[in-house]
Amino acid sequence: MATPVKSSLPLNTLLVFIPGFLTVLIGVLFGFVPLEAFVLILLVVIVTFLSSLYLRKPLEKLLSLNHVAIKASHILYGLFILLLGTLYGRYTILTSTLACLISYGLYECLRWSRHEDVPYITEALRLLGSPEDLDGRPFLSPAYAALGILLSTAFFTSQTANVAISVLVLGDGFAALVGRSIGGIHLPINGRKTVVGSLTGFFMSFTGCRLFVPVELAFVGSFAGMLIEALPIPLNDNLTIPIFSAICMTFAYEITGIL
């Protein structure tokens, strides 16, 4: 693939940003998204662009490792999604994640089909991607995360979706953060994962899940999420973790009736 050429005009940025902006705005007009949630989302988007432009290098230098900065940003934005769902309901999550996927699809269309860079948005995605995304591949990690959150929110109860998102954000986020930073004994089933990382992920996700469901269901959701995260399957775990966690929790509820 040819190297993307930097666009001299911010038109590409507008082409990517405006459809997502309009998606959330339509949600406001139809009553799916409260106006204060729209303002909060817009504020976070602006802060993201400014941070990606002016704070990326100082942040990476402060945290020493690129993957640390990336995983920290995953956790922060995931917690923001949880906050939106807790304060404003599932339709706000559905609308905002759908807006992200629409804008991301347009971004990749411009970047790969027309070989044109998208100013501001490329810099933001570099902070949200994975280390593997930085070598010229598509920024699939944030897209898979948004899709996993969208599907788990659309097809499961609000409590189950909150647990699934908690496992993705806190479990996967801290498992990778601690596992890559500390290292240690690797899991027998997956040499890329460590015991300390998986245990940290389970503890953090369980702590977050307890805010939404009883102990039994929090255990099931956290264990299921960390199990699928540890297995060496070809699917991206940003997609599989929330969905598998939600499915296992739903079965556990049907069997025990605990909620």
Whether the per-residue pLDDT at 17 is higher than 70: the answer is: yes
Burial label, 196 (beta-carbon count in 10 A; 0-12, 13-18, 19+):
middle
Higher pLDDT, 211 or 9: 211
> Would you say residue 242 has pLDDT above 90?
yes
Q: Is the pLDDT of residue 29 over 70?
A: yes
Q: Which two tokens stand for residue 69?
A: 């900065």
Contact 182, 196 (CB under 8 A): yes
CA angle 166, 183, 228 (to 5 degrees): 40
Mean pLDDT of 97-102: 92
Judge whether residue 120 has pLDDT over 80.
no
- pTM value is 0.84
Mean pLDDT of the chain: 81
